[in-house]
Structure 1
Amino acid sequence: MARINHNIPALVSQQSLSVSDRSLRNAMTQLSTGLRINRAADDPTNLSVSEQLRQVIRGSAVVTRNAHDATSLLQIAEGALDEVTNILQRMRELAVQSANGVWTSNDRNYMDVEYQSLKEELDRIAYQTQYNSMQILNDETTSFGSLGGPSVIHLGVNNSIGVDTINVSIQSVTLDALGLETSGIADLNSVYLAVDELDDALFSVSSNRATLGALMNRLEVVVNNLMVQESNTQAAESTIRDTDFARMTTEMVRYQILNEASTAMLAQANSLPKSILGLFDQ
C-alpha cells in the first residue's frame, strides 16, 4: 500500500543509518586513540577499575623514585661512615703505639697531635655529610631524622603506617656521640682509656654501617617488587582499556558496509512516494 504521510521504509533506513554511523564513529575513535574506553559512557564499570589501576601504576612509579632517593641518601651516609671507620682505625693504631713504654712524653705529644687532628676531621665529616641540605650523620635539628628520631621513607602506593612506610635512623657519629670528645694519647693513663673508647666507637660505627647495608638491600628488594607490580598492573590496565585492533578493524569495515547500504536504502525509500504521482498520469 502506497502512503505519503508516513514513509515507514525511510524511517527504518534512517534508524539503521543512525546506528551504523554511531558505531562507525566509535570504531574510528577507538582506532585513532588506541583506547577502547575514551569516555565514561563507553564502559562505566571498567572505567572505574581502570582508573584505580592507573592510580597504582603512577603511584608505583613515584614510590620507585622514593626508594632510589632513599638509597642515594644511605649510600652517601655509608660512604662517609667508611671514612670514619678508617679514621678510628688509625686513631687506635696511634693509641696502641703510644702505649709502648719506649716512647718519651714528647713522642706521645707528637702522636697526640695527629690523634687530635683526626678527631677534628671525624667531627667535621659528621657535620659536613649532607643530602638535600640535610645533615645525615649528627642529631642536629636540621639533620635527617631530627634529634635522633627516625625518618619515614614512603614505599607504598597507599598510606598505611608500617605497611607503606619504613622508619630509617642513622646514628650520630660526632665526637660527643662516640664518646671521644675528651679522648687523647698524650700520657699513658689517657692512652689506656682511649683504646677502650675507640673499641666502643668502632663497634658503634660498624653496627651503624651494618644497619645501613641491610636497609639498602631491603630497598633493592622493594624496587624489584615494584617493577614487577607496575608491569603486571599495566598489563591488567591495558587489557581493560586498550583497543583490540584486529577486532575493531573488522568491526569498522562491517559498519562502513552497513553505513553505505543504509544510505543507499534510505535513498530508495525516499523515492518510493514519488511513484504515487504516476497514478495521476493514468
Structure 2
Amino acid sequence: MPVISTNNAANSALNYLNQNSSKETNELAKLASGSRIVQASDDAAGLAIGTQLQANVTVYTQDQTNVQQGTAILQSADGALAQISNVLQRMMSLATEAASGQVTNAQRSQDINTEYTQLKTEITSIVTSTTYAGQTLLTGSFLSNVKFLVGTLSSNFLTVSVTTVSVGGLVGSSGSTVSTAATALAAINVINSAINTVTQDRAKIGAYESQFNFSGQDIATNIQNISAASSVVLDADVAQVKSTLSSVDVKTQASVAALTQASQLPQELLKLIQAA
C-alpha cells in the first residue's frame, strides 16, 4: 500500500544497507589483519582453540631456547673435561718418566715434580674458571640434578647431573707427587684411574647432549605442526575473503541504489495528489 507518512521501502533498504555495510567492514578487517577471527563473535570456539595452540607454540619456542642453553652448558663442561684429560695424560707421562730408573732423584724433585705440581694447579684453575652465566659448572651445586623444561607440562623436563671435579678427587694424596720413583709408581695407577673417571664423565655428558639434540628436533617438529594447526583455525583465507568481499560490495552498492530510489517514492506519490 503506497503511503507518504511512512517510507517502508526506504526503511527496508536502509536495513539491508546497514547489514551489508557491516559485513563489508568485517571482511575488510579480516583482509587487513590477515586473521579469520577479528572478534570473538566471529568464532568463539575457534578463538579458544587457536589461542591455546598459539600458547603452546610460545612455550615450545622457549623450550628451544632452554635446549640450546642446556646444550651450550654441556659443551662448556665437556670442553673443560677434555682439557683436564689432556692435563692428566701429561701428568701420566711425567709420572712414567719419574718412575724410570734412568732419572735421578734431583731430576725427579726439581724438574719433573715441579711441572707435575703445576699441572695439578692447572686442573684446579680449569675447574674454577669453567662457568656459565657466573655459575661454576664442574664444582658446586649448579649442575647437580638441574632440570631443563622441554615441553608444555611441568613434568616435561630433562634432568642433568654432572659430577663435581677436583684435584683431590682425581689424584688424591697417592698421586700428589712424583718426587721419588716409589711415589711416581703410585701416581701412575692413580692418574690412570683419574683419566678413566674423566672419560666416563665426558661420556655421560655426551649422552646428555644427544638427548638434548633429539629433544630439540622433537620441539622443532611440534612448533611446525602446531603452527600449521593454528593457522588453519586463525588465519584468513585471503582468496575466500576477497571473493566474499566482492559479493558483499555488490550488495552494498545495490542497497545504496535501492535506498536512493526508495527515498524518492514519497515525492512520486505527491505527484498523484498534484495530478488530482
Q: TM-score of the superposition, structure 1-length normalised?
A: 0.92
- 1:174 paired to 2:175: no
Distance in 2 between residues matched to 1:112 and 1:165, nearest whole Å? 47
Residue 200 of structure 1 is matched in structure 2 by 193
Q: What residue identity is the alignment partner of 1:75? A: Q
Residue 13 of structure 1 is matched in structure 2 by 13
The number of aligned residues is 273
Q: How does 1:22-171 map to 2 (within 5 A)?
A: 22-109=22-109, 110-139=111-140, 144-145=142-143, 149-160=144-155, 164-171=156-163
Distance in 2 between residues matched to 1:74 and 1:253, nearest whole Å? 58
Distance in 1 between residues matched to 2:9 and 2:66, nearest whole Å? 66
| Deviation >6 Å, runs of 4+ | none
Distance in 2 between residues matched to 1:47 and 1:205, nearest whole Å? 54
Question: What is the CA RMSD across the aligned residues, in angstroms?
Answer: 1.5
Deviation, 1:131, is 0.9
Q: Deviations over 1:234-266 (max 9, x none)?
A: 111111111111111111111111001011111
Distance in 2 between residues matched to 1:152 and 1:40, nearest whole Å? 38
- 1:280 paired to 2:249: no
For the 8 Å contact 2:113–2:178, the answer to whether it is kept is yes
- 1:216 paired to 2:209: yes
Deviation, 1:68, is 0.8
Deviation, 1:181, is 5.1
- 1:184 paired to 2:185: no
Q: How does 1:246-261 map to 2 (within 5 A)?
A: 246-261=239-254
For the 8 Å contact 1:50–1:237, the answer to whether it is kept is yes
Deviation, 1:72, is 1.0
Structure 1 residues not aligned, in runs of 5+: none
Q: TM-score of the superposition, structure 2-length normalised?
A: 0.94
**Alignment identity in percent?**
28
Structure 2 residues not aligned, in runs of 5+: none
SS at match of 1:166: strand
Deviation, 1:12, is 1.9
Deviation, 1:144, is 2.0
Distance in 1 between residues matched to 2:147 and 2:171, nearest whole Å? 28
Distance in 2 between residues matched to 1:273 and 1:280, nearest whole Å? 11
For the 8 Å contact 1:175–1:181, the answer to whether it is kept is no
Q: What residue identity is the alignment partner of 1:210? A: A
Distance in 1 between residues matched to 2:224 and 2:29, nearest whole Å? 26
SS at match of 2:264: helix
Residue 218 of structure 2 is matched in structure 1 by 225
For the 8 Å contact 2:171–2:187, the answer to whether it is kept is no
Q: Deviations over 1:96-153 (max 9, x none)?
A: 22111222211221211111111010111111111111111112xxx523xxx31111
Q: Deviations over 1:223-243 (max 9, x none)?
A: 111111111111111111111
For the 8 Å contact 1:180–1:198, the answer to whether it is kept is no
Distance in 1 between residues matched to 2:199 and 2:39, nearest whole Å? 58
Distance in 2 between residues matched to 1:217 and 1:156, nearest whole Å? 17
